[in-house]
Structure 1
Amino acid sequence: MFRLPMRFRMLSMLAAMLLLAGCASTRVTNHWRDPQFAGPPPQRVLVVGISESESGRRVFEDSFVNTLLAAGTPARASYPQLPQTGAIPKAQLVEAIRASQSQAVLVTRLLKTERQVDVIPGAPMPVMGGFYGWYGSAWATMPPTITQYDVVTLETTLWDVKAEKAIWSGQSEGFAPTDIAKFSTGLAQQLIKQMQQDGVLASQ
């Protein structure tokens, strides 16, 4: 029986790994800044993650708070005052904002999760040594490589507390995380950098 040479099976597996690696990082796909926002950037930010998972929300909010602090903007997570999952009553949210003395609220929510399927088509095997090699390879084809992964799309909005209006909003996407802390930190770094460039957060 003609078998696929090991080196070609390894190349096929490597191609699949590269596809997954290309989807592993987060990226900002689009963003908007209120053209009427004249500043100054908020002095303090309250971070709110919308999630059905309490532990996931805590990790997410902590990642954003730590990244904001490192970028020079004082910030506080909402979960110590608002530990419940699900929709938060307005009165509790108002009190949390007042207690944190925040001028802005940064809210992130999941918009969608999509299953992606990538297929690397099979290809004829290269000819191996004369007629007999060619005849064997004529019956053999490198099998297609199929990879499946989930891509998440998130929406992040920075709200001005006093005006009660959005001053910045952006969408981002990335490979569905297995390490929430690493994913959240990478996402926060990209979003905060973009908000600094857009002038809605202070730059160091």
Structure 2
Amino acid sequence: MKTSNKDLLHKLPYLLICIMPLFLWACVSSTRITGTWKSPEATNQQYNKIVVAALTDNIRARETVENDIQAQLQRRGVAATKSIDIFPPTASSKSGPDVNLLIDRLKDDGYDGIMTVALIDEQTETRYVPGTYSYAPVTRFGWYGRFRGYYTYWYPTLYDPGYYTEDKVYFLETNLYDESTENLVWSAQSQSYSPSSLRNASEKLAEITVGRMAQDGLIR
């Protein structure tokens, strides 16, 4: 059965009500890769034992990000280790572990790749959320002529005023280095728009990043 333009116009408000929440949810919270680069020298090599290092002095963020990436790598058969397990945070090492000690430790334990995650930029965006009307029908007549009728007719018509809100946009960079040469072999930049929580943003970042590494042939 064909649907006329008139029918579509009648259904348009209903369709918008169904679609708009999905559209707004996609705008409010999302994490995606915005660009990747792969070294021409890394055409055939796959990495099987990787240490994951989140470059932050925030212990909770470091552990969360490293946990999630480790889990995604292990699902693809990669032996992944968190840097926080090799070099736990201490009060005396504000700048992180000594890089030379880190490299020596990785060589001794047979790692072939080093994966880093760093927050490279943070921005704040202000957007306007428009107000909405809601209406509860009143099934009575002659409402205009008397106060009681007028009041009970208009009171159920409510207006929720609009407001301004701020969204956080985080820009992250994930790099994979070859342990033997210390050269950068792969890099990805990602953007996390107004994440609802560190947990959700970290899980999504790990999923899409490790998935792209597999797609680019760096891991199984």
TM-score normalised to the size of structure 2?
0.70
- Quick one: distance in 2 between partners of 1:94 and 1:77? 14
Amino acid at match of 1:102: Y
The correspondence of residues 29-108 of structure 1 with structure 2, limited to 5 A, is 29-84=34-89, 86-108=95-117
Amino-acid identity (%):
25
> Pick from 87, 92, 113: which aligns with 2:122?
113
TM-score normalised to the size of structure 1?
0.75
Structure 2: gaps (5+ residues)? 1-15, 133-143, 145-158
Amino acid at match of 2:118: R
Do the aligned partners of residues 57 and 94 (structure 1) sit closer, same or farther apart at CA in structure 2, a change above 3 Å counting? Answer: same
Matched, 1:173 2:188: no
Shift of 1:90: 2.0
CA RMSD, 1 decimal? 3.2
- Quick one: distance in 2 between partners of 1:75 and 1:26? 23
Do the aligned partners of residues 150 and 121 (structure 1) sit closer, same or farther apart at CA in structure 2, a change above 3 Å counting? Answer: same
Deviations 1:113-150, CA, capped at 9 Å, x for gaps:
11111225679xxxxxxxx9xxxxxxxx9854433210
Amino acid at match of 2:213: M
Structure 1: gaps (5+ residues)? 1-10, 124-131, 133-140
Q: SS at the partner of 1:41?
A: coil
- Quick one: distance in 2 between partners of 1:96 and 1:175? 36
- Quick one: distance in 2 between partners of 1:18 and 1:115? 21
> Pick from 171, 180, 184: which aligns with 1:162?
180
Q: SS at the partner of 2:41?
A: coil
Larger radius of gyration: 2
